[in-house]
Structure 1
Amino acid sequence: MEPRLLSGKAAAAYCSVTLNTWSKWVTAGLMPKPVIGRRWDKRAIDQMLDKLSGIEAPSGPAEEENPFEKWMREDAMRRGGT
């Protein structure tokens, strides 16, 4: 299993940059601050990279929609409802 928390060195390697560049990115706010001591959350890094790349995570009610609710919504749309 891959670890979710990364050291600064591992986070830099994950982003294919030097540790010095990683530190500059964190200081500039381009990457998240460490969450536990000197460990970075891999998911937070991915979210920041997505944001920098223009990829936005879905938000709103659709995010919490369960499969049945999705089916009901799509069925209503197929039938001409809202």
Structure 2
Amino acid sequence: MAGDPPSQHSDKDPDAQPTGADLGWTALSYLIGGMLVWGFIGWLVDRWVHTGGVITGIGVVIGCAGGIYLVIQRIGAPPPGPGSS
């Protein structure tokens, strides 16, 4: 609205580093999203081939592994701290 104060997250500085909370929420969303999407795909395949939930479990594990892969690729490991050589 016109009289509202500006929001805390402004897009004025595209070079700003994300905060720790932003990185945490991003990692959590990758993990949960991967498990939900691939678990749902596994559930659909289970319904199609009547395997009794086996492929749903495999889909959830694949989604979790994919989420971990995305977290490592997109966020990466933290930089080395002081004193590490």
Pick the structure with more helix per residue.
2
Specify the TM-score bucket, using the shorter chain as the normaliser.
Answer: under 0.3
Pick the structure with more strand per residue.
1
Higher relative contact order (CA 8 A, sep 6+): 2
Task: Give the TM-score of the pair, scaled to structure 2.
Answer: 0.22
Task: Give the TM-score of the pair, scaled to structure 1.
Answer: 0.23
